[in-house]
Amino acid sequence: MPELWLNYGNADIVLDIQAENLHSQIHNSMNITQTSHILEKLNSIDIKESANLVIFEDTKPILQIVFMLFEICNKNSNPLPKILVPQEIIHSIRNKISQTEIKKFSNISEGNFIFINDLHFDGLFGFSTTATNLLKKLGSNNSLLSAYRKRSNNFPMPGKHTIPFKMAQEFTSSFEIVSIEIINNSDVVCDIIIGHPSSMSTLSKSLVSTHVNIDKQNALIINYGKANISTLGNTLESLWNCSSVIANNGLAILISDCSSGIGSTAIQYLVEKRFNIDSLKDPVEYIAGMENLLFLTELQKKIRIGLVSVLPYFYLNQLNIIPFQSGNDSLNYILDDKTVGKKITVIFNASRTLLK
């Protein structure tokens, strides 16, 4: 019996699956660039005395790049740049970075702004980049609503060249900024891409080249992978990365502790009966995370979705998501289901793995 260890919050859980029930295991296999080559790329950035490093997430790869930039500054006897972050992560970043000033990011003003982004896939935009993050942070509700309405259909499009992504790039075109996009495999920096967020054409080639081709699957267990902040919102993004290979009437079980809660304003409003799901296809205003709610409801017309997490069952029942207490409970549910067969595919680090 193979023991499959899956990440679950700050720990790992074991999935006791019989060899005859395991169809395949899928791991993300990215090539890792040597640290010296990454440092060489970072040295090409002109870090001026007034430099500001802007980060929107508290992840290990982002912190690795921050400390590499500090190393370059110290070597060149340059002052360390300030760090600008959203209010929600300012406390955790201050606990991890003590060498320089940490302040709240609110806008792009005069000065030297260097953005560091943990590159991954996105259901609405295709990719989550500095450009898409800036549109979400600084764009008006009308600009976000326009991007939402420009989606090509009501299903997730991870890894695709979408109109909303082009709109995000156009939004950043007037900013005089530099972006460092990190390609990583969970908590390891594999490579970086440096440029202006409006014109980084190598993003899709670098990330989509790691996709995995498989046949349609009836039963998948999808492990989000390591995450500093685990929410239902970002867990659903790992489902979008696998959604195109799930057969009609198939079953997808997500494993992610979601210890940081729902992480989506739209889903929170729905659970609290403050949001009408019928308005998702043509809304009059944009609510953060509504695209994930749209994708979820449309996919549920074709497949069933379950979740192993610490979220209250009340929330999941409101979303028609099957709740499970453990990975082995979800495994037994699949094996007892007569409609999907006994062969299960397990996806590791699904937040960084695109299936086609």
Give the whole-angstrom CA distance, residue 133 versus residue 128: 7
The position carrying tokens 């659970």 is 271
**For residue 251, what pLDDT is reported?**
96
SS3 63: helix
Q: Which domains does the chain have, with CATH numbers?
A: 3-29+211-352 (3.90.226.30), 35-208 (3.40.50.11440)
Is 201 a residue whose pLDDT tops 80? no
Is 212 a residue whose pLDDT tops 90? no
Local confidence band at 238 (pLDDT 50, 70, 90 cut-offs): very high
pLDDT, mean over the chain: 90
- What one-letter code names the amino acid at 76? N
Give the whole-angstrom CA distance, residue 149 versus residue 155: 13
- Start-to-end CA distance of the chain, whole Å, equals 28
Local confidence band at 209 (pLDDT 50, 70, 90 cut-offs): low
Local confidence band at 222 (pLDDT 50, 70, 90 cut-offs): very high
**For residue 341, what pLDDT is reported?**
81
Give the whole-angstrom CA distance, residue 271 versus residue 177: 39
Q: What is the DSSP string of 244-288?
A: GGEEEEEEEEEE---TT----HHHHHHHTT-S-GGGSSS-SS--T
Question: Between 34 and 54, whose confidence is greater?
Answer: 54
Report, as an integer, the average pLDDT of 55-64: 91
Give the whole-angstrom CA distance, residue 303 versus residue 179: 38
What confidence tens digit (pLDDT) does each residue in 64-92 have? 999 999 999 999 888 999 999 999 899 98
What confidence tens digit (pLDDT) does each residue in 303-323 have? 999 999 999 999 999 999 999
Is 200 a residue whose pLDDT tops 90? no
**For residue 203, what pLDDT is reported?**
63
Q: What are phi and psi of 100, to 5 degrees?
A: -145, 175
Local confidence band at 94 (pLDDT 50, 70, 90 cut-offs): very high
Question: Between 34 and 320, whose confidence is greater?
Answer: 320
Is 1 a residue whose pLDDT tops 70? no
pTM of the model: 0.92
